[in-house]
Structure formats: structure tokens, C-alpha cells
Chains A and B, each alone.
Chain A
């Protein structure tokens, strides 16, 4: 198989030496079927062992190799050399602090994922003695798409609202909340909407839609957020009309 020479322009940042990030160029002989992650691995193994970045599965499951590829938030194991020009710029995900080189600090988003209360909340006891919740396929398909999120955080890197205001709960966490709100076994929608349809929640989203366009798993967080806005408004009026009780 013939090789193709590409120039990787990689953002570097060493917190112990550098005041600001800078770019380092690497010439990489790539195989035709390589993904960008393969080229970065080649650099690490053959050219510069000091380069830091996250990756694990190389098969679009772990969600840890999200980076900016030519300015686009991308899962680098899914972004192929054959679709890119001869010079490729690799940066850490936008909107996150840089820990080192291509590694970003995700603490803020990890806290936000908990805000979504991503687990089944029940008010009533389980419907049967064996504590099994039955669910039809039609009911599963209502939310299945939102279960596909792998927390790669490309959506947060694409979201200008999160970039401008880090208190915004953001696309992945809101899509995760919506996944449980749509689950026929769950009874926690009102409880979640109290937090998520309030300040820093769905109403901070101005529907740029970039989160859905960059999502490598077609989760469509923008759709989840718009649907939650409608649900939030309905819940608000339901509570108003019932005198504050829901």
C-alpha cells in the first residue's frame, strides 16, 4: 500500500515550561486507510514520545480521542486521512482548559452530567413482584438515539454558548436528561425540568445547532434541547394551573 506524506501541525502546551500553547509540525508517512488518530500514534511512537493525548478503543466507543481537526471538533479515530488535505492542524477541544498538549480538563462537564440525574427515578413502586420494568420497542425507540452518546465532548467544543458561558449545562448533559425524560419507566421528568428548564439549562441554548452537526454518533443534542424547551413550557403551565403542585 502506498504511503502519503502529511504534515501534522499539533498544538503543544507544557504547563511547567510554556506560558501559552504553540504549534509543532511533524511530517508523517501515512497509510491510505489511516485515521488521524493513527497519524498521532505514529508521532508518539516514532518521532516525539513527549506528546500527550487521550485515546483508548480506536473504534468510536470510548469517546476519549475527541480533538479539533482543522478547526472542527472530531473523533480522531473516525476522521480519515483520505478526507483531509496534506496539512492538518490538530488542537485540543475548544472551550475546555488545556491540561497538557491535546489533553483537556473535563471536570466542569463531568459535574454537569450529574445535574442531568441520568438514572431512572421512580415515584411508584415497581409494577410487578419480580421488580422488572417492561418496555415496548416503540417506547424504546422514542429515546434510543439519545443513549448513543459516548461523552466525547465534541458537542461542547462546537457550542458557542458553552464557550461564552461555562455555567450553561450544555448539549450532552441535556440530551442525557432528555433520554431519561423520554423513558417510559422513568417518573422523574418534573424533578429534572425544575433544574434543566431553569437558568443555565435549556433556555440558554440559542439553537446554533453546531452540537448536532459535529456529533460523531448522530445523537442530535440540539433536537433534545428544543424538545425539552417545549416540555419545560408545558410543565411550567401545568404547575401554574394546578396551583404549584405537579
Chain B
């Protein structure tokens, strides 16, 4: 009897279409595109601070329907979805055991949300929002 194992190759370009779990993973990972875009946006914004004229032009470039729609999409997809996804995964990377008991994952997730809210409030305060 001869051995002739059959190999089922995984497509390097369409593997993530195999199931819903992989698609959700790709949606999470694709948030990096928005992180990259925002990095460029911040760099352009900082560069525009060199003169009032350039800064006003930068602000004007953001005040159109397409950019506002994009910012809205980015807020939901990047800020909320990405934050939710990673905070849910945080307890896996940093489990806490107190004595013989493992601390419930929900405490670690809630702690992340609290730190996020405090840091956001601090940044808003720095920006003069309140």
C-alpha cells in the first residue's frame, strides 16, 4: 500500500472568505488603514499650523460632505468597533489571578473603558472643550 497524502492548499488571496470568523478578523485588521490615514491627516494638520492661511485651507478641506461622511464612518468603524474589539480581547493577554481565583474578564474590560474615558476627558480638557 502506498502513501500518497492529499494536500488541500489554502488560497493566499481569498482564505479569509472561508468563514464568518475570518471575515470579522479582517474587518478588525482593516481598521489599520484608517489609523494610517489619520496619521497622515494629523501630519498635514500639524504642517498647516505654520501659517493662518494654510491652517484655514486645511480646515476648509475637511468641511465638505464627503469628508464629514468619512469622519462619521471612521468614528463608528475605527473608534468604536476597533476599541470594542480590542478591549474584549484584552483579558486574554493580561489575565489576573487573585489568590486562587481568576479575576472575571469583565473587570479587566471595564477597567479599560474607564481608563479610555479618563484619558479622553483629559485630552478634551487640554483641547479646551471644557
Contact = CB atoms under 8 A, between A and B. Distances in A.
Nearest to A206: B29
B93 A220 contact: no
Interface residues of B, number: 27
A18 B15 CA distance: 25
A71 B19 contact: yes
A97 B7 contact: yes
Interface stretch (A30-38, A114-122, A192-200, A223-231): A223-231
B93 A223 contact: yes
A57 interface: no
A63 to B, nearest CB: 20
**Interface size grouping (class) on chain A:** 35 or more
Interface in B57-92: 89, 92
A29 interface: no
A16 B93 contact: no
**B18, B92, B102 — most chain A CB neighbours (10 Å):** B92
Contacts of A21: 6, 8
A246 to B, nearest CB: 23
A137 B100 CA distance: 7
A18 B19 CA distance: 27
A97 B5 contact: yes
Given A164-B15, A226-B93, A227-B93, A208 B6 contact: no
A207 interface: yes
B6 A210 contact: no
Contacts of A23: none
A223 B21 CA distance: 17
B2 interface: yes
A209 B21 CA distance: 9
Interface in A109-168: 137-138, 141-142, 158, 160, 163-164
B116 interface: no
A222 interface: yes
Contacts of B107: none
Nearest to A19: B6
Contacts of A102: none
B93 A138 contact: no
B55 interface: no
Contacts of B51: none
Pick from B8, B10, B16, B29 the residue with the most CB of A within 10 Å. Answer: B8
A90 B19 CA distance: 16
A220 B89 CA distance: 12
A230 B8 contact: no
A16 B2 contact: yes
A99 B8 CA distance: 12
Interface of A: 13, 15-16, 18, 20-21, 71-72, 94-95, 97-99, 105, 137-138, 141-142, 158, 160, 163-164, 206-210, 212-213, 220, 222-223, 226-227, 229-230
Interface of B: 1-8, 10, 12, 15-16, 18-19, 21-22, 25, 29, 89, 92-95, 97, 99-100, 102
9 contacts: A20-B6, A97-B7, A138-B100, A141-B97, A207-B89, A209-B21, A212-B92, A213-B21, A226-B89
Given A138-B100, A163-B15, A230-B93, 11 more contacts: A15-B5, A71-B18, A158-B21, A160-B15, A160-B18, A209-B25, A209-B89, A210-B22, A223-B95, A226-B89, A227-B95
